Amino acid sequence: MVDREVAPLDPSPRTSEQLVQAIAGLKELIFARMEENDKAVVRLQEFANSQPTPGVIFAKLQSLGEMVDMRFNELEKRSEQSRIADKGSLDIALTAAKEATTKSETSFTKQVDAIGVQIGESRNAFEVRINDLKERIDRNEGIGAGSKDSNALTRTIMTIGMTAIMVAVGVASLILSRA
């Protein structure tokens, strides 16, 4: 082992003075840090005090939820009232449409009946003419007149037949156009 010199245990006055100064500097530094920490704690406490507590936040959220529920209830009431009003309007419109349809059907029925009467009258008129022609043929009128009278009779019968066909087509087209 190597011998070392042991340093004296009693420091010199200069070393003691430096040590005291270093300790004083450390005290100042520690106290400054502690003061800054105290200021930071005060600021943190002020910030925490300015923030709402969980109870306050819960109360605000609860009142907000109640407001939302109230608005939804109002919206449901308005929707229900609107649905009832729409149903009433629809019922009125359907009733009016039904009345209009009934009136239209009645009018159409009257028109068809009137057409039926006209067809009946036309048929009766044709029957009278045909019967008149039959009587003439039975009495042999116009036998001596020759083919001229025969042609006239044929034309008359064809005219009557064509008129009957035209009346039937007219009635059918009128009925189809109303349907």
User: What are the tens digits of pLDDT across the range 102-156?
Assistant: 888 888 888 888 888 888 888 888 888 888 887 877 777 555 555 556 777 788 8
What pLDDT is attached to residue 48?
83
Residue 39 token pair: 């200021």
Residue pair 68/138 in contact by the 8 Å Cβ criterion: no
Phi, psi of 96 (to 5 degrees): -65, -40
9 in a structural domain: no
- Residue 115 and residue 164 share a domain: yes
Q: Is 31 exposed, middle or buried (0-12, 13-18, 19+ CB in 10 A)?
A: exposed
- Residue 72 and residue 45 share a domain: no
Distance (Å, whole) CA 58 – CA 75:
25
Distance (Å, whole) CA 150 – CA 142:
8
What pLDDT is attached to residue 58?
87
66 in a structural domain: yes
- Residue 82 and residue 66 share a domain: yes
Kindly state the DSSP code that residue 179 receives in the 8-state scheme. Answer: -
Q: Is 149 exposed, middle or buried (0-12, 13-18, 19+ CB in 10 A)?
A: middle
pLDDT at 15 over 80: yes
- Residue 42 and residue 96 share a domain: no
Q: Identify the domain containing residue 34 by its residue range.
A: 19-51
100 in a structural domain: yes
pLDDT at 40 over 70: yes
What percentage of the chain exceeds 70 in pLDDT?
88
Q: How much is the mean pLDDT over the chain? A: 83
What pLDDT is attached to residue 143?
57
What pLDDT is attached to residue 146?
53
Question: Could you tell me which residues come within 8 angstroms of residue 133 by beta carbon, excluding any fewer than 6 positions away?
Answer: 153, 156, 157
For the chain, the domain total comes to 2
- Residue 35 and residue 94 share a domain: no
169 in a structural domain: yes
CA of 76: how far to CAs of 56, 70, 153, in Å? 30, 10, 85
Which has more confidence, 73 or 13? 73
Nearest to 129 by CA among 162, 167, 156: 156
CA of 8: how far to CAs of 3, 5, 58, 158, in Å? 15, 9, 71, 163
- Residue 94 and residue 164 share a domain: yes
Q: Which residue in the block uniquely carries the two structure tokens 């029957």?
A: 127
Residue 113 token pair: 């009946």
Which has more confidence, 17 or 174? 17
Q: 4 pLDDT band (50/70/90 cuts)?
A: low
Q: Which residue in the block uniquely carries the two structure tokens 């044709």?
A: 126
113 in a structural domain: yes
- Residue 141 and residue 58 share a domain: yes
What pLDDT is attached to residue 127?
84
12 in a structural domain: no
Q: 32 pLDDT band (50/70/90 cuts)?
A: very high
User: What are the tens digits of pLDDT across the range 73-82?
Assistant: 999 999 888 8
User: What's the mean pLDDT in 94-109?
Assistant: 87
Last residue of a domain, one of 8, 31, 51: 51
